[in-house]
Amino acid sequence: MRAIVIHAARDLRIEDRADPGDPGPGQVRIAMAAGGVCGSDLHYFNHGGIGDTIRLREPMILGHEVSGHVESMGEGVDLAVGDLVAVSPSRPCGACAYCLRGQPNHCLKMRFYGSAMPFPHIQGAFRQTLIAEAAQCAPAGDLSPGEAAMAEPLAVCLHAVRQAGGLVGRSVLVTGCGPIGLLTILAARRAGADRIVATDLAAFPLEMARAAGADEVLNMAEDRDALAPFAEGKGTMDVAFECSGAGPALAGAIAVLRPGGTLVQLGLGGDMNVPMQVLTAKELSLRGSFRFHEEFHTGVSLMRKGLIDVAPLITHTLPLDDALAAFEVAGDRSQAMKAQIAFA
């Protein structure tokens, strides 16, 4: 089978890898159909790692936003050959202290597809054939392969919305309008948010944010003081989702939150300076949001019911042979939101 392998920054190759064989009990053999290029994939592609601590130390198959069709099953699997499934990359051990506390996204032995955090690295899912546990597979019904492959980033945003607490009637700020920002807008609105303001530094993501349902969009590159009216009277926003991983966005979000407001940090871009005195004086709650687990199946369910529509976010789909071009276009914020690779 062929797989998309990163060797170092800007060194992406399509390589032949051994066929994974037959599924065991509780497992599924999947012919991959679609895979989305994530921001973390782009970090490996452009920089050879994420921040200063997560670095490539060996070749690694990339990819964790995937869907595919069932080819065969092991004993005890309630699926059918040909079924389209969204495949969760989250594979906690189920036995460590955090798994037993109900925090599987913090598993000490997590095997998350396409991650260089541990060594040896956890190989990813950008391959033609994958053996997965049945528990990872969410039946996708009539969704397209591309829509099913959006279950992973949607799950990230559903987890973040859960971290924020109740959103019914709340005013919400979303900073950074890449795929995670837009999916956060969709998830927050579904959770009852009343007013949603979105910020970014580029026109195309902001156009997409407005189409996704943001009430107001602000281009911070054109007007760095665009958020100032929202900071009046100690702040007017109830909740902020910081999706960019950029220090100025974090500071701007803290400035516009009302006393007692909540900031949820999703964006991962390295360490940032936090204006702690403002956070303290306004009695703000700062919550991190990292990955997901049970939200994956919830996301697929919401998409299947038509309650969240991710199709408009998929702007490009390229064949496996053009994987390098898919990575290049995925990083072009002037035209791409979610670029995907078609494996079949």
Task: Give the contacts of 123 (CB within 8 A, at least 6 positions apart).
Answer: 60, 61, 113, 114
> What is the per-residue pLDDT for 248?
93
Amino acid present at 181: G
275 contacts 251 by C-beta, under 8 angstroms: yes
The average pLDDT across 219-233 equals: 97
pLDDT band at 335 (very low <50, low <70, confident <90, very high): very high
The average pLDDT across 308-326 equals: 98
Amino acid present at 124: G
> What is the per-residue pLDDT for 123?
97
The average pLDDT across 103-121 equals: 95
> What is the per-residue pLDDT for 125?
98
Q: Calculate what percentage of the chain has a pLDDT beyond 70.
A: 100
3-state secondary structure of 159: helix
Please give the Cα distance from 220 to 7 (Å, whole number). 36
Please give the Cα distance from 20 to 23 (Å, whole number). 8
Q: Long-range CB contacts (< 8 A, 24+ apart) of 273-282?
A: 273/247, 274/250, 275/251, 278/254, 279/254, 282/234, 282/235, 282/254, 282/257, 282/258
3-state secondary structure of 277: helix
pLDDT band at 344 (very low <50, low <70, confident <90, very high): confident
Amino acid present at 343: F
Ordered by start, the domain boundaries in the chain are: 2-150+310-342, 155-288
- Bridge partners, residue 286, by sequence: 263
> What is the per-residue pLDDT for 53?
85
> What is the per-residue pLDDT for 270?
72
pLDDT per residue over 255-306, tens digit each? 999 999 999 999 987 788 899 999 999 999 999 999 999 999 999 999 999 9
Residue written as token pair 């349902």: 213
Query: Could you tell me the CATH superfamily of domain 2-150+310-342?
Result: Medium-chain alcohol dehydrogenases, catalytic domain (3.90.180.10)
Task: Give the contacts of 174 (CB within 8 A, at least 6 positions apart).
Answer: 181, 184, 185, 188, 196, 197, 198, 199, 209, 214, 240, 241, 243
Classify burial at 211, counting beta carbons within 10 Å of its beta carbon; exposed 0-12, middle 13-18, buried 19 or more.
middle
The average pLDDT across 71-88 equals: 97
pLDDT per residue over 5-47, tens digit each? 999 999 999 999 999 999 999 999 999 999 999 999 999 999 9
pLDDT per residue over 113-153, tens digit each? 999 999 999 999 999 999 999 999 999 999 999 999 999 99
> What is the per-residue pLDDT for 101?
96
Element (H, E) at 4: strand 2-8
Please give the Cα distance from 201 to 210 (Å, whole number). 14
Q: In angstroms, what CA-CA distances link 202 with 99, 211, 325?
A: 40, 15, 22
- Which DSSP category does 28 fall into? E
Please give the Cα distance from 66 to 114 (Å, whole number). 12
3-state secondary structure of 319: strand
Closest C-alpha to 130, from 65, 57, 203: 65
Architecture per CATH, domain 155-288, reads as 3-Layer(aba) Sandwich (3.40)
> What is the per-residue pLDDT for 268?
82
238: left (phi over 0), alpha (psi -120 to 50) or beta: alpha
Classify burial at 301, counting beta carbons within 10 Å of its beta carbon; exposed 0-12, middle 13-18, buried 19 or more.
middle
> What is the per-residue pLDDT for 286?
96
pLDDT per residue over 145-200, tens digit each? 999 999 999 999 999 999 999 999 999 999 999 999 999 999 999 999 999 999 99
The average pLDDT across 68-92 equals: 96
- Which DSSP category does 232 fall into? G
> What is the per-residue pLDDT for 50?
87
Please give the Cα distance from 174 to 244 (Å, whole number). 9
